[in-house]
Amino acid sequence: MDFTLILQNLGLGFSTALSLVNLAYCFLGVLVGTLIGVLPGIGPVAAVAMLLPLTFNLDPVGAIIMLSGIYYGTQYGGSTTAILVNLPGESSSVITCIDGYAMARAGRAGPALAIAAIGSFFAGTVGTILVALLGPPLAEIALKFGAPEYFSLMVMALIAASVLSSGSMMKTICMIVLGLLVGIVGTDVNSGMSRFTFGMSGLADGIHFAVIAMGLFGFAEIASNLSDKADTAERTVLNQKITGLMPTYEDMKAASGAIFRGTAIGAFFGTLPGGGPTISAFSAYALEKKLAKDPSRFGKGAIEGVAAPESANNAAVQCAFITTLTLGIPHGATMALILGALTIQGIAPGPQVMTQRPDLFWGLIASMWIGNAMLVVLNLPLVGLWVKLLKVPYRFMFPSIMVFMAIGVYSVNNLDLDVYFTILFGVLGYLFLKLNCQPAPLILAFVLGPLMEENLRRALLISRGDPTVFFTRPISAGFLIAAILLLIIMIIPSFKKKREEAVASSEVL
Amino acid sequence: MRIKNFEDFWSGMMFLAIGVLAIWESANYPFGTASRMGPGYFPTCLGGIMAVLGSIVALKAIESSSVAEHAKPAEGSPFAWKALTMLSLGFLLFGWGVDRIGFIPSLFALTVITAAAGSTFNIKEVLIMSVLLIAGSVGIFIYGVELPIPLFWWR
């Protein structure tokens, strides 16, 4: 590997990211991310979709720096509420509640918050280095991919997403197919024929992903919260003063191993398509509990139980950028939205981005590291502010979210039809929640749908209709075999039971 | 025969219905051959996969023997009729109004109607919130991002 080249590239990255404008976007992104992370009831998917109109007038670099900041910022914010209020701001912080809140009740909220931030920062730094090191060689390999390879890769990514998401796998695969079908709506690029538009001219360009994201993740979530009477629920915030932010030497010693292992697990699941911060956090916690000399400490305020999952979820988020940026295949729902934003800016995601727009790729990497440093500052000294924010009642929050969503959806195309379709997807999303169907794989499949059809068509055109082409080309065969292995693992009873246990325990919390 | 798992049964039926609908609609588009795919090829395949998987999900949710475990009683929160209706109504009015009666009046309608979706409604509180939200949105979206939306019906 050419080290001077990497340093040169990083130099370009930092000079891009350190420009005043981009620093401001980075700060805005992580600030909003922290806010979203702190506030329960709104996740990164809806947040990125909501803020999309704000990026239309930005240059592509600023836009992606800001949207990425939102994504990894939520991981920091989510831990704050988990520790102080026993309320996970994000699903990836669910497991942090157990020991984090126990520590807070024992008067050790300060060290818990500090170790979460230190772990996240360490993981973020490692993640950023990994993106810088692994990105270029991966992109070089990806440049050699043909249509069959891309098709098989997407099949594998979607299968992995269904295996790693919670809930029934069969239903998740159905949601993926539904997402692919929704992706077909609009004009077929090859024949010029309108498909699934049912005579509506507004659908000629297809349904915009912001419409689906805000319907499924914003609208539906609010309806569900309201029927759970979340707007009248009292939030009990620990009223003690947070004293002694710095962890002791013993704390650091106990947590450092957990931070390393959590980072490794997060990096692994993050790079894997379909894996994500939530599964990383759960696995990291489970590993620490297994390795501990005295597992009974867990649940009563073990510092490893905070350090490991918080490092893991942040490492996963950073490493998700590896596959997303180099292959142009989004890795989860949030990444799909960020790539969609790039497409609006006229940049086709894929391995060529690195050579054509090095300022964008390396600028983003540098900004991620800067953003992580900003987040430590935002989260530790300002923790009191975030806690105050939690006291804002939900009855003020949900109309504000609705206003932002309405304007966001409308401004995408200045089309009232988009607003009506958000209602449709909102009601559908509520039904999905009621029927226990996962909406995140749907949106991933929706973004991949057109790419998948195009590559399938091309692959079969080259092979003159012979479907064995997917198995005779080695890389493509590798992806498909991996997908099949994943499916087989799912059918093995012992693994199935483990996965169901994990899902069940995550629901109890 | 009894339904063992309502969630799975109804989601399976929903997937089956959507799958059949997709095949039905795709029949209007030329199918083509594998080497020269028509616009109907991919959606027909997807509809087929969906219908099959949906049927399996639904069938697995049905217990054929009489010693079946008792069906899970409907748990959780009640169906959110009120919230869904008010939120949808707010969005409908906003979508209809934003280009006709303008940004400010349609936002006002949106905030007041969606606020009514909650379980408490204090008119004074809602009005103050509505004014603040409108002021903020006009500041950010009209003067900040310069979205081309008329403020009022007289433009």
Is B57 in Cβ contact with A174 (below 8 Å)?
yes
What would the pLDDT profile of B112-134 be if each residue is shown by its tens digit? 999 988 888 888 889 999 999 99
Give the model's confidence band at B66: pLDDT under 50 very low, under 70 low, under 90 confident, else very high. Answer: very low
Which range (A267-276, A440-449, A476-485, B81-90) has the least confidence?
A267-276
Kindly tell me if the per-residue pLDDT of A388 is higher than 80. Answer: no
* CA angle in degrees (0–180, nearest 5) for A363-A262-A129: 25
Rounded distance, CA A300 to CA A324, Å?
38
Is B136 within the bounds of a domain? yes
A168/B contact by beta carbon, under 8 A: yes
User: What pLDDT does A50 receive?
Assistant: 81
User: What pLDDT does B70 receive?
Assistant: 47
How many CA atoms, within 13 angstroms, populate the side-chain half-sphere of residue A82? 32
CB A43 within 8 A of CB A90: yes
User: Residue B102: left (phi > 0), alpha (psi -120 to 50), or beta?
Assistant: left
DSSP label at B37?
A: B
Residue type, A117: A
* CA angle in degrees (0–180, nearest 5) for B85-B90-B132: 135
Same domain, B132 and B88: yes
Kindly tell me if the per-residue pLDDT of A489 is higher than 70. Answer: yes
Report the mean per-residue pLDDT for chain B: 84
Is A53 in Cβ contact with B147 (below 8 Å)?
yes
Beta bridge partners of A346: none
Q: How many angstroms separate the most distant Cα atoms in chain A?
A: 71
B5/A contact by beta carbon, under 8 A: no
- Residue B53 CB contacts under 8 Å (≥ 6 apart), including other chains: A170, A173, A174, A177, B15, B19
Is B94 within the bounds of a domain? yes
Q: What total of structural domains would you count in chain B?
A: 2
A471/B contact by beta carbon, under 8 A: no
Burial A314-344 (b: 16+ CB within 10 A, else e): bbbbbbbbbbbbbbbbbbbbbbbbbbbbbeb
A446/B contact by beta carbon, under 8 A: no
Q: What is the ipTM of this complex?
A: 0.90
Rounded distance, CA A110 to CA A191, Å?
62
Optimal mutation site among A56, A172, A177, A200, interface B, most CBs of chain B within 10 A: A177
Rounded distance, CA A15 to CA A19, Å?
7
Residue type, A395: R
Helix (H) or strand (E) holding A42: none
Find chain A residues with C-beta within 8 A of B91's C-beta. 219, 402, 406, 419-420, 422-423, 426
Report the mean per-residue pLDDT for chain A: 82
What would the pLDDT profile of A128-186 be if each residue is shown by its tens digit? 888 888 888 888 888 888 889 889 988 888 888 777 666 678 888 899 999 999 988 98
Is B70 within the bounds of a domain? no
What would the pLDDT profile of A257-291 be if each residue is shown by its tens digit? 888 888 998 888 888 766 678 888 888 888 888 88
Find chain A residues with C-beta within 8 A of B98's C-beta. 410, 416, 419
Q: How many angstroms separate the most distant Cα atoms in chain B?
A: 70
Rounded distance, CA A379 to CA A388, Å?
13
Is B130 within the bounds of a domain? yes
Kindly tell me if the per-residue pLDDT of A391 is higher than 80. Answer: no
User: What pLDDT does B19 receive?
Assistant: 92
Residues constituting chain A: 509
- Residue A76 CB contacts under 8 Å (≥ 6 apart), including other chains: A30, A33, A34, A37, A116, A117, A120, A314, A375, A378, A379
Which range (A155-164, B32-41, B54-63) has the least confidence?
A155-164
Closest Cα in chain B, distance from residue A13 (Å): 27
Same domain, B97 and B131: yes
Kindly tell me if the per-residue pLDDT of B53 is higher than 50. Answer: yes
Same domain, B92 and B138: yes
Same domain, B101 and B136: yes
Same domain, B38 and B88: no
Strands B2-3 and B62-63: antiparallel
Is B151 within the bounds of a domain? no
Rounded distance, CA A154 to CA A506, Å?
28
Which residue range is the domain that position B134 belongs to?
Answer: 81-144
What would the pLDDT profile of A13-61 be if each residue is shown by its tens digit? 888 888 888 888 899 889 988 888 887 767 788 888 888 777 877 888 8
A174/B contact by beta carbon, under 8 A: yes
Kindly tell me if the per-residue pLDDT of A313 is higher than 50. Answer: yes
**Which segments of A147-217 are extended strands (E)?**
186-187, 194-195
Is B137 in Cβ contact with A231 (below 8 Å)?
no
A250 burial via Cβ count (<10 Å: 0-12, 13-18, 19+): exposed
User: What pLDDT does A345 receive?
Assistant: 81
CB B69 within 8 A of CB B117: no
Is B21 within the bounds of a domain? yes
Is B19 within the bounds of a domain? yes
User: What pLDDT does A45 receive?
Assistant: 82
Rounded distance, CA A271 to CA A261, Å?
16
User: What pLDDT does A238 receive?
Assistant: 57
Q: Average of pLDDT values for A233-247?
A: 62
A109 vs B44, more confident: B44
Which range (A476-480, B44-48, B81-85, B150-154) has the least confidence?
B150-154
Is B13 within the bounds of a domain? yes
Find chain B residues with C-beta within 8 A of A430's C-beta. 80, 84
User: What pLDDT does A105 receive?
Assistant: 80
B31/A contact by beta carbon, under 8 A: no
